[in-house]
Structure 1
Amino acid sequence: MEDEPATEILHATYRALCEHGYANLTVQDIAAEADRSTASIHYHYDDKDQLFVAFLDYLYDRYTERLADAGGDSPRERLDALFEVSCRADPDGQQQAFRTAMLEVMAQAPYDDAIRERLAEFDTLLFERFQEILEAGIETGAFDERVDPAAAAEFLTATITGAHTREIATGTPSDRLYATVTQYTERHLLAEGPTGGAD
């Protein structure tokens, strides 16, 4: 059974992170968002750094669930569903605030092993999901047998991650990202003929 107070603190950390960003985020901000005292926060977590490592673990579990929900009856459908999850912007703009805060977190990674390791887990999970789908698609004949699944997965992971970072850092909209990766799939991954669906 989950520790409900600790889980609510992690929910509050998410909300506070979106509002304040990582650099300006304090334990007091999280306590206020959770409607708890700072002493209550420190009962579960010694400091902001320990809390944030736990928060990244919590996010990783949610991210795993989101990617697992990107299903479909065929590898092509699963790939498109994964693009939907990874590329589409949310209508209320909440992801924008969160990605801005996470960019600040990424800036801490070179100096914090725990943060770097956990961010690497997110990257690896997306990469492995793409690679699994591509390998399955090659086996069924949906994707071109000449495709290197690892190389294509690396390209897609880097493209999606880079587009989100670029959007936050430079203000360049990533609204064409879904169309870009879909076009890449059609031009470079699909097998020719009726199985793959390419012309």
Structure 2
Amino acid sequence: MGDTSRFAAATEDDTRAAIMRATYDALTSHGYANLTIQRIGDEFEKSKSLLYHHYDGKDDLLVDFLRFMLEHWEAKAECREEQDPRARLEALLDRVAGVELDEETAAFTAAMEELRGQAPHDAAYREQFTEHDRALRERFAEIIAAGIDEGSFHNVDPARAAEFLLTTVNGVRIQRVTRDDAGGVAATRAELDEYLDARLYRGDA
């Protein structure tokens, strides 16, 4: 169960990757509030005792899960360097702020926002989400700078534009999981696309 493609690079004897896969599946199925070590163990193909051997409890495991997901995301982002900046930016936005999500991705997104909700009260979660936001902000800035260098983007401040995109994306994520309708997400993405056309993309490139 679950999209295990993100773990495809792991070898069969990679215990950490197997635990992360089980955590992903359990988190997608049950969300944070209903997640337990037992439910993660139910998705784990090896001995459940390994979970307790490697982690002190659910939150310790989930913090490592966030770390693992960031490592995966950064490695996957490096594989897209051959695309032109506009294609890279739009692919990234579709990935992190797409209007339509399949059921599994929507469930995982909701669970991740539940985890983000722990950050104000837990320094370990806060540290991981700070790193996730840093990585996404830096990726936006790198793409924008590349577009400016090749002449396809206007000469904006990459850091400021990246911060704006990050804030918008995080708003989309929150709206997606706290509203019963998708209107807010669709409207925000449409306005974001208009911003990119007017503010960032050069029509004569």
TM-score (norm. length: structure 2): 0.83
Larger Rg: 1 or 2? 1
Match of residue 137, structure 2, among 117, 124, 127 = 127
8 Å Cα contact 1:18-1:94 kept in structure 2? yes
Size of the aligned set, in residue pairs, is 193
1:41 aligned to 2:37?
Answer: no
Match of 1:8 in 2: 18
Query: How much has 1:171 moved relative to structure 2?
Result: 2.6
1:188 aligned to 2:199?
Answer: yes
- Residue deviations 1:83-137, cap 9 Å, x none? 2322235653211111111121111111111111111111111111111111122
Taking structure 1 as reference, are residues 149 and 14 closer, same or farther at Cα in structure 2, changes over 3 Å only?
A: same
Give structure 1 stretches of 5+ with no counterpart. Answer: none
In 2: Cα distance, 1:62 partner to 1:103 partner: 18
In 2: Cα distance, 1:123 partner to 1:27 partner: 27
8 Å Cα contact 1:128-1:153 kept in structure 2? yes
Taking structure 1 as reference, are residues 81 and 61 closer, same or farther at Cα in structure 2, changes over 3 Å only?
A: same
1:20 aligned to 2:30?
Answer: yes
Query: How much has 1:81 moved relative to structure 2?
Result: 2.2
Taking structure 1 as reference, are residues 6 and 139 closer, same or farther at Cα in structure 2, changes over 3 Å only?
A: closer
In 2: Cα distance, 1:178 partner to 1:18 partner: 24
In 1: Cα distance, 2:83 partner to 2:46 partner: 46
- Residue deviations 1:120-167, cap 9 Å, x none? 11111111111111112222222222x221111111111111111111
- Residue deviations 1:33-89, cap 9 Å, x none? 114554231012121122111111111122213433444543222222222322235
In 2: Cα distance, 1:148 partner to 1:114 partner: 31
In 2: Cα distance, 1:65 partner to 1:180 partner: 30
TM-score (norm. length: structure 1): 0.86
Consecutive aligned runs of 4 or more in structure 1 exceeding 3 Å deviation: 35-38, 69-73, 89-92, 175-180
In 2: Cα distance, 1:109 partner to 1:83 partner: 24
8 Å Cα contact 2:99-2:189 kept in structure 1? no
What RMSD in Å do the two structures reach over aligned CA positions? Answer: 2.2
In 2: Cα distance, 1:186 partner to 1:89 partner: 18
Give structure 2 stretches of 5+ with no counterpart. Answer: 1-9
Superposed counterparts of 1:45-84, under 5 Å: 45-84=55-94
In 2: Cα distance, 1:172 partner to 1:63 partner: 28
